[in-house]
Structure 1
């Protein structure tokens, strides 16, 4: 592969890992401007990466290249919303290429499975025909975005692994926080609603837009229709602004300003440049609004937006102290607790609530000390990265509709279908089967293949039982349980008792030789234990005794019926287990 080289101290071992070594591809350094006329043209007089992001917003506007990583580029806009995140992801004080201490490399931080991980890359960027072929900023001599993209590619193994993904996942990786997705379509049928998840109402959307200066709001097109034929399929955008023009227009008109990472205008709706929509406004107002948009941006009316776009993804705002802020109440979730766990085959991989082995899943105590808004998130660790299909925004629901086997192959190699349920208990000593037979206080609608699922609720003081589970029994995996709360909380794992604990108990003091302790223990396979008990009767004038084993018990049970992608249906009834 041809390389344009600049006499710097390269870390050449990194260059060979990046993939996409196609015909005509070269690696151009963004090194010292005085070293090469080509570098001078690409770099200009720019230096410190952190300073670049604080200049003119137009200069840091993202522009997508030939790589299908719009989902990551949309999440990068979060760095423009928070000084805390900016310095967290791009550590300040690094030598720039005008500094004598510069050695041809940069370091960034990416949040991965509970930790901020430092990643260092050299400053050689892939080019085609002397120009960057992947992401870049609108101003060509600003390089923080392509270098951060290279860092993210290194974390994933290659540039090719960034070909498709979820905006929510990238937001979590760049913020260490949470992200939420809504669908903009109301399918009408109950079954379809269950598959698509929460439908975003306009009132909620308008309230979210009040947070546009604090967090990233991304919208996605998942299927091509007449109005969006130029927007592509499985493509993500950034919602930049929302204007209510009711006062100047004399009627209810709400316009949204959308940015396309492709960096070119592609909207063919009424509010395109020269479109009929602008005739509803005063020409001066229309001219002013059109002059505001940069290359790749366009205006769209709210009704059109809900009609033509399919999903909204929003990251939780991050305060300057690095704390999460609620999307719903704007309260600061100042208390956090994290714990790692795993599902182990034959031990703690009990599957969903359809299985009798569900109680064997990992269990956690959540103590809520005061009335609080609480978010509980279950993040699973990927098992193996795999190349996704030719889409841009990975959406399992739509893939499964077209090709169920392909959908299973895509997510099956990476993540399990997981769910999360929470029960309130009155005291720490409780009957586990009886508790789990009742409906939970809060839980995920269904098990899903998302990397992270979470529930949000208002909890009163007390103890809560948190149970993360996979849909399939004996499905192994590692996970991170995260809790964010407005009030004081405590999270701890419930350790299972030792296997032979009952057999190892010592006799109480004071018991003589004439006293005998009898323990009956059944050996369960796959946690399928039977309700058992025994009685002891003394036979007159003899030292023998009889043990009678009873297997009859009266208790409430719950019949759970869940299929993957569908809501959990619960039916309570009383059952008597016979001999």
Structure 2
């Protein structure tokens, strides 16, 4: 077919220009070495007769360039195994080089927060010395990987934002499904843990699931295997040695496109001599560029983590990786954590019950998969820092909140929220995790279940998506809570004070210690009491979660108006207390105080503990009642005018 004429201008993406702004974000990765060296070329200027996909499937395999996005390329392998997924991400029928109608524009789709988002890009690709400098295909004439990578970089904000990430997140973005990952080793251990996922995977699931593995640090003697590097499991097979011993072999693919292995199952390794020669020849013949074999023992010794993506049937439903069963019943619902209203924090907090709540009705018993996804957008922010995914030594994640999902079986007609939440949950994600998505797999009997998604920190805001996929019919809905309306003749005023407990000075400890009166004193004046709670006091300590102190506070009535000169001893009783002291980031109490002057004493339980804190006091104050005659029609009309002005 004939090429378009030179007079026909090719598409140039105005939202993701072929410039440094598309390459770099903060210049904190090794990518910054490319500054001033990159040129942007279209595929027809890189090679003759470019194509999206080569005729040979092996030539379509990704090959990593100098961008640290092995996590994305391992997920891309999944697309080569499923035409349905590939056409979902890359809609078919797009005009390519040499075809009439080719415009230099390509369209991709990525699953984001519950829906498929279209991303269009031009085909100007970053090159150094007229060669692609980032990901490419094994075939020098195929460009599907380079174009997909560019679209994914646009989705995130720049190529540099793809440096280091989670395979499970890329898998979900490319299929809209669910991925689980397990740690194979405990900290400082080289042996497998009891949380071994492999026995749960049947032979059929091993064959149809997409499995990735990663190393957190380069093993001794193999530095080129890299640090925090992801690879893919291409095949998993059982063989029998000449002495009758059963061995499980895994064929591993390295996105670098080279074999970096020194075990018993290298091409000249000792392991092959233990197999029938014909079997050994067949297995060795299956390896492509960048692939190698390991046995299961080597796999557990050398790799730190494994990720498994649930297989997706042609109708879009998931297969359980535990039972192989189809999960045809799917539902999802979105929600928000809002500070001061529905961001109650973890179960350590008395405010836990204020978190969003949902009903799950299970019609008949069955297998249920629940996931809690915290939503972005993450545009313009790094997706992951360079640290081991799931590394518990890192106390917090730069973008995500630590989240968890708990569920309790309840009798909907006789339901006591406090008693239910104080009992053991029927199932949960066990711990709060700094993950984009946490997964709960369980079997539930028929009935009603209360679902509570939460963040670890009280007051942490965010949007989330709750998904349910099951073998049995389910119904998911939000629990409607009647929130008492505030009196129309008052409003809340908020004030915050930052301070610190200093050992030997202002760290007096709790009331059990004679030094309690040395704690900082924050004055509180109450002028208005319309009835009901009129004061809320919140104490938040600053510091990492793994070194929290037990904190609390007391509120004392002051005689006169001299807060600093008031003598506070064990004989003086507080009018309000936030006790017992809790190892929480934040504690709070709502109360009713009559008009007067008070002193709030924040404290750690033990004296002489050093820490910084913020004390926030909300109090109701009087305001004039204002009547409003605004009607819906007037609001709609105003919004319409604003919309017109923005066109």
TM bucket by the smaller chain?
Answer: 0.7 to 0.9
TM-score norm. by structure 2 comes to 0.70
Deviation per CA, 1:154-179, whole angstroms, max 9, x where unpaired? 10000000001111111110111100
Tell me the residue number matched to 2:643: none
> Equivalent residues in 2 for 1:232-247 (5 A)?
232-246=226-240
Deviation at 1:288, TM superposition (A): 3.2
Aligned pair in 2 of structure 1 residues 104, 237: CA closer, same or farther (>3 Å)? Answer: same
Tell me the residue number matched to 2:80: 80
> Is residue 364–residue 446 contact of structure 2 (8 Å, CA) maintained in 1?
yes
Q: 1:39 aligns with which of 40, 47, 51?
A: 47
Deviation at 1:211, TM superposition (A): 2.5
Aligned pair in 2 of structure 1 residues 421, 561: CA closer, same or farther (>3 Å)? Answer: farther
Q: 1:23 aligns with which of 17, 36, 39?
A: 36
> Equivalent residues in 2 for 1:89-168 (5 A)?
89-168=89-168
* Helix, strand or coil at the partner of 1:304: helix
> Is residue 250–residue 294 contact of structure 2 (8 Å, CA) maintained in 1?
yes
Q: 1:471 aligns with which of 431, 440, 456?
A: 456
> Is residue 212–residue 233 contact of structure 2 (8 Å, CA) maintained in 1?
yes
Alpha-carbon distance between aligned partners in 2 of 1:187 and 1:204, rounded to the nearest angstrom: 23
Deviation at 1:84, TM superposition (A): 2.0
Alpha-carbon distance between aligned partners in 1 of 2:143 and 2:384, rounded to the nearest angstrom: 29
* Helix, strand or coil at the partner of 1:180: strand
Unaligned runs of 5+ in 2: 1-5, 25-33, 489-530, 540-579, 586-647
Deviation per CA, 1:99-124, whole angstroms, max 9, x where unpaired? 22111010010000111001100011
> Is residue 81–residue 215 contact of structure 1 (8 Å, CA) maintained in 2?
no
Deviation per CA, 1:317-340, whole angstroms, max 9, x where unpaired? 000111111111111111111111
> Is residue 249–residue 282 contact of structure 1 (8 Å, CA) maintained in 2?
no
Alpha-carbon distance between aligned partners in 1 of 2:325 and 2:279, rounded to the nearest angstrom: 36
Tell me the residue number matched to 1:63: 63
Aligned pair in 2 of structure 1 residues 103, 527: CA closer, same or farther (>3 Å)? Answer: same
Is residue 2:196 matched to residue 1:200? Answer: yes
Tell me the residue number matched to 1:381: 375
Deviation at 1:19, TM superposition (A): 1.1
Aligned pair in 2 of structure 1 residues 524, 433: CA closer, same or farther (>3 Å)? Answer: farther
> Is residue 241–residue 276 contact of structure 2 (8 Å, CA) maintained in 1?
no
Aligned pair in 2 of structure 1 residues 62, 361: CA closer, same or farther (>3 Å)? Answer: same
Q: 1:365 aligns with which of 359, 363, 375?
A: 359
Give runs of ≥4 in structure 1 deviating > 4 Å. 186-189, 520-524, 558-563
Deviation at 1:85, TM superposition (A): 1.1
> Is residue 346–residue 526 contact of structure 1 (8 Å, CA) maintained in 2?
no
Alpha-carbon distance between aligned partners in 1 of 2:383 and 2:445, rounded to the nearest angstrom: 43
Deviation at 1:316, TM superposition (A): 0.5
Aligned pair in 2 of structure 1 residues 318, 559: CA closer, same or farther (>3 Å)? Answer: farther
Deviation per CA, 1:232-283, whole angstroms, max 9, x where unpaired? 1100000011222216663222221100000011111121122222222344
Alpha-carbon distance between aligned partners in 2 of 1:424 and 1:470, rounded to the nearest angstrom: 21
Q: Which piece of structure 1 moves more, 370-379 or 225-234? A: 225-234
RMSD (Å) for aligned C-alpha atoms: 3.1
TM-score norm. by structure 1 comes to 0.78
* Helix, strand or coil at the partner of 1:434: helix
Tell me the residue number matched to 2:554: none
* Helix, strand or coil at the partner of 1:253: strand
Aligned pair in 2 of structure 1 residues 562, 318: CA closer, same or farther (>3 Å)? Answer: farther
* Helix, strand or coil at the partner of 2:246: coil
Q: 2:445 aligns with which of 419, 444, 460?
A: 460
Deviation per CA, 1:115-161, whole angstroms, max 9, x where unpaired? 10011000111111111111111111111111111111010000000
Tell me the residue number matched to 1:550: none
Aligned pair in 2 of structure 1 residues 428, 343: CA closer, same or farther (>3 Å)? Answer: farther
* Helix, strand or coil at the partner of 1:76: helix
Aligned pair in 2 of structure 1 residues 249, 237: CA closer, same or farther (>3 Å)? Answer: farther
Alpha-carbon distance between aligned partners in 1 of 2:258 and 2:106, rounded to the nearest angstrom: 30
Deviation at 1:561, TM superposition (A): 8.1
Tell me the residue number matched to 2:432: 447
Alpha-carbon distance between aligned partners in 2 of 1:330 and 1:287, rounded to the nearest angstrom: 32
Is residue 2:149 matched to residue 1:169? Answer: no
Alpha-carbon distance between aligned partners in 2 of 1:500 and 1:266, rounded to the nearest angstrom: 65
* Helix, strand or coil at the partner of 2:294: strand
Alpha-carbon distance between aligned partners in 2 of 1:173 and 1:293, rounded to the nearest angstrom: 28
Alpha-carbon distance between aligned partners in 2 of 1:115 and 1:197, rounded to the nearest angstrom: 36
Larger RCO: Structure 1 or Structure 2 (Cα < 8 Å, ≥ 6 residues apart)? 1
Tell me the residue number matched to 1:180: 180
Deviation at 1:184, TM superposition (A): 1.8
Alpha-carbon distance between aligned partners in 1 of 2:457 and 2:124, rounded to the nearest angstrom: 45
Alpha-carbon distance between aligned partners in 2 of 1:428 and 1:527, rounded to the nearest angstrom: 35
> Is residue 182–residue 197 contact of structure 2 (8 Å, CA) maintained in 1?
no
> Is residue 260–residue 296 contact of structure 1 (8 Å, CA) maintained in 2?
yes
Deviation per CA, 1:383-406, whole angstroms, max 9, x where unpaired? 655347773x75241xx63xx4xx
Deviation at 1:290, TM superposition (A): 2.2
Q: How many residues are paired up? A: 487
Is residue 2:314 matched to residue 1:310? Answer: no
Deviation per CA, 1:483-537, whole angstroms, max 9, x where unpaired? 111111111111221423999xxxxxxxxxxxxxxxx955674799xxxxxxxxx
Deviation at 1:445, TM superposition (A): 1.5
Alpha-carbon distance between aligned partners in 2 of 1:500 and 1:280, rounded to the nearest angstrom: 77
Alpha-carbon distance between aligned partners in 1 of 2:185 and 2:68, rounded to the nearest angstrom: 25
Alpha-carbon distance between aligned partners in 2 of 1:227 and 1:560, rounded to the nearest angstrom: 48
> Is residue 82–residue 320 contact of structure 1 (8 Å, CA) maintained in 2?
no
Alpha-carbon distance between aligned partners in 1 of 2:287 and 2:459, rounded to the nearest angstrom: 53
Tell me the residue number matched to 1:11: 12
Aligned pair in 2 of structure 1 residues 102, 121: CA closer, same or farther (>3 Å)? Answer: same
> Is residue 184–residue 303 contact of structure 2 (8 Å, CA) maintained in 1?
yes
Aligned pair in 2 of structure 1 residues 428, 68: CA closer, same or farther (>3 Å)? Answer: farther
Unaligned runs of 5+ in 1: 1-5, 504-519, 529-557, 564-579
Alpha-carbon distance between aligned partners in 1 of 2:87 and 2:127, rounded to the nearest angstrom: 28
> Is residue 382–residue 415 contact of structure 1 (8 Å, CA) maintained in 2?
no
> Equivalent residues in 2 for 1:479-490 (5 A)?
479-490=464-475
Deviation per CA, 1:340-377, whole angstroms, max 9, x where unpaired? 11111111111100000000001011111111211111
* Helix, strand or coil at the partner of 1:18: helix
Q: 2:347 aligns with which of 347, 353, 358?
A: 353
Tell me the residue number matched to 1:574: none
